[in-house]
Amino acid sequence: MSSPPPVQLEVEVVDESMEDDASDMRPTDRFTLLARADAVVELWRAKMEEGTLAPGHFLDYWRLTVPRVYSPQPNRTCLDWAFDEELAAKLLIQPLEQFVWGNSDGSQPPLPRRSTLCGRVFKQGDPAYSCRECGMDNTCVLCVECFKVSAHRHHKYKMGQSSGGGCCDCGDTEAWKREPFCELHAASEEDNQAEATIKPEVIERMKIIASVCLTYCLRLLTHDHAPCLPNDLRLKDAERDLLQILDQPDCYCTVLYNDETHTFDQVITTLVRVTKCNQRDSLELVSLIDREGRALVKCNSFQVCDKLKTDIEICTAMFERFTSRHGPSLKVLVMHAHVIAHQTFAMKLLHWLQNFVSQEPSLRLAVSQVALGSDVWGAAGAAALGGGGGVACGVMQNDARMWKAARTAWHRLLIATTLMDYTTKRTMAILFTRNYGEWGHT
C-alpha cells in the first residue's frame, strides 16, 4: 500500500508586507469570515493605490477561504455534497465584484448601452433556429428568445436541437445576409450615439481580476498529477488549526474518471463490489461520471482512499480477464480534499466570469484580451499564461487533461468572450488554425 506524500519543508522568499497582510487575514474564529471579506477588498484597493498589488494577495485570501467553503466532508461522496452557496457568494464572489466596480456592495452601475450581440451559449438539447433565407450557412443559428422576436420567424426556417457548445449568432452581421438583429438586440440611434460610461479604472480592475482568475483556473483544472496543492495554495499548519476546516486534518478523496473503454455495467458492478454502495447510488455515480467526466466516490484518510483506488483497479483488471474488451484501467486518482475545494471554486469562477461580463461589451472585451494574451496584468500573470495565445492557448493545449465539465466550462467562457467581438474573434481563429495540427495530434 502506498504511503501518504511526505511533508515538505518550504523555504519561501516573499515580500515582508505581503507576509504581514497574510497574517492579518487569518481568521480567529468562524464568525469573522464576512468581516474578513470586507477587509480583503480594502486591502486589494490599498495595494493597488500603492502600486504593489500582486496575484499573491488574491491567492492568500483564497488559500484560507476556499477550503472553508468547498472542502468535501469525510465519509461522503459527491452525491452528498451540500455547499452553502450564499456564504460562498458573500466570501468569494462579492469581493471580486466590489473590487471591479469600486463600491462597497458590488452592485453594478447603470449599463451605458444595450448589447447588440446575444452570444448565448447553447447547452445540450437547447432549441436552435436557422433561417434558410437569411443565414450565411446552416451553422448560423438563433436561440429561442431571439428567434421569437426576429424577422426570421416569418421566413423559411429550420428548428433543431443543439449538441451544446455553440452560441446564438443574433447581432453578428457576418452570419446573416439581412436582418441580423432581433428586437432585443437592435440598437437604437440613441444607443449608437451614447458614450460609454464605464470608467477606465473599472476596465483596468477587470483586467486584473481576469488575469488572476484565468491563471488560477488554468492551474487548478489541469492539476491532476499530484495529490496535493501547489505550494502557494497549501495551508500552513497554523492556518489549518485556526480555520478548523475538517475533523480529520489530512483528508483525501478518491476520484473516478470517465473513459471510452469500460461500459456502464462494468463500472456499476465495480462500485457495488468495492465501495459496498447500493445499486441506486452506484447508478447515480456512474451517470454523474458520464455527464460530468468524473465523480468523488470516497473521502477519508490517504490510506483508505489509496486502498480503494487499488481495489477499483484490481476489479476492473478482473473484468478484462473474462471479456474480450482490453484497454487501460479505469482512471482513479487520490487527491487532497483541498484540491477538490479549489477545483470546485475554479469552476464557479469560470461560470461567474461568463455571466458577469455578458451584458457589458467593454468588460467582455477586457476579459477577451486577457484570455488571448494581448493584455495580461503583471509579469507573474504573463509568465503563468505563457507566450503567444495566452490562456486560450493553454486551454487548447491542455484540453485532453481536463475532465468533461471543466472543458465545457472553459469552452463556454471562451465562446462567450473571444467570439463576441470581430477583432478578438479573428485573433482566436488565427490562433486555432495556426496550431490545429499540433493540438489535434495531441
The verdict on residue 92 lying in a domain is no
CB 96 within 8 A of CB 211: no
Residues 147 and 288 grouped into a single domain: no
pTM score of the predicted model: 0.81
CB 169 within 8 A of CB 140: yes
pLDDT band at 15 (very low <50, low <70, confident <90, very high): very low
pLDDT band at 417 (very low <50, low <70, confident <90, very high): very high
Give residue-wise pLDDT tens across range 41-77: 999 999 999 999 999 999 999 999 999 899 888 887 7
Domain end call among 109, 138, 169: 169
* SS3 state of residue 165: coil
The verdict on residue 218 lying in a domain is yes
pLDDT value of residue 369: 93
Mean pLDDT score across all residues of the chain:
81
Percentage of residues in the chain having pLDDT higher than 90 = 42
CATH number, residue 164: 2.10.110.30
Residues 157 and 222 grouped into a single domain: no
DSSP 125-161: T-EEEEETTTBSSTT--B-HHHHHTSGGGGS-EEEEE
Averaging pLDDT over each range in 1-5, 305-309, 356-360, 432-436, which range is the top one? 305-309
Q: How far apart are CA 255 and CA 92, in angstroms?
A: 25
Taking alpha carbons only, the member of 422, 431, 396 closest to residue 411 is 396
pLDDT band at 38 (very low <50, low <70, confident <90, very high): confident
The verdict on residue 115 lying in a domain is no
Q: How far apart are CA 59 and CA 65, in angstroms?
A: 10
The verdict on residue 288 lying in a domain is yes
Give residue-wise pLDDT tens across range 74-91: 887 778 778 889 999 999
List strands edge to edge, sheet with 252-257: 294-300, 252-257, 332-336
Give residue-wise pLDDT tens across range 203-216: 999 999 999 999 99
Residues 227 and 308 grouped into a single domain: yes
Helix, strand, coil share of the chain (percent; to 5): 55, 5, 40
The verdict on residue 34 lying in a domain is no
Residues 339 and 433 grouped into a single domain: yes
Residue 427 has pLDDT above 60, yes or no: yes
Residue 29 has pLDDT above 50, yes or no: no
CA atoms within 13 A on the CB side of 62: 26
Taking alpha carbons only, the member of 264, 311, 260 closest to residue 284 is 264
The verdict on residue 351 lying in a domain is yes
Residue 255 has pLDDT above 90, yes or no: yes
For residue 119, give every residue at least 6 positions away whose Cβ sits within 8 Å of its Cβ, in sequence order, or none. 167, 168, 171, 358, 415, 416, 419, 420
351 lies in which domain range? 74-84+208-442
For residue 280, give every residue at least 6 positions away whose Cβ sits within 8 Å of its Cβ, in sequence order, or none. none
Residues 161 and 285 grouped into a single domain: no
Residue 20 has pLDDT above 70, yes or no: no
Q: How far apart are CA 167 and CA 177, in angstroms?
A: 18
Residues 139 and 264 grouped into a single domain: no
Q: Which helix (DSSP H) or strand (DSSP E) does residue 85 occupy?
A: helix 85-88
CB 119 within 8 A of CB 358: yes
For 123-138, letters b (16+ CB in 10 Å) and e give eeebebbbbeebbeee
Q: Domain total for the chain?
A: 2
Residues 268 and 351 grouped into a single domain: yes
Domain end call among 153, 169, 185: 169
CATH number, residue 360: 3.30.1390.10
Residue 21 has pLDDT above 80, yes or no: no
The verdict on residue 137 lying in a domain is yes
Residues 354 and 220 grouped into a single domain: yes
Residues 327 and 407 grouped into a single domain: yes
Residues 303 and 394 grouped into a single domain: yes
* SS3 state of residue 91: helix
The verdict on residue 111 lying in a domain is no
Q: What is the mean pLDDT of residues 142-157?
A: 91
Residues 150 and 218 grouped into a single domain: no
Residues 405 and 275 grouped into a single domain: yes
Taking alpha carbons only, the member of 391, 405, 257 closest to residue 344 is 405
CB 255 within 8 A of CB 275: no
Q: What is the mean pLDDT of residues 402-406?
A: 93
Q: How far apart are CA 48 and CA 102, in angstroms?
A: 12
pLDDT value of residue 192: 46
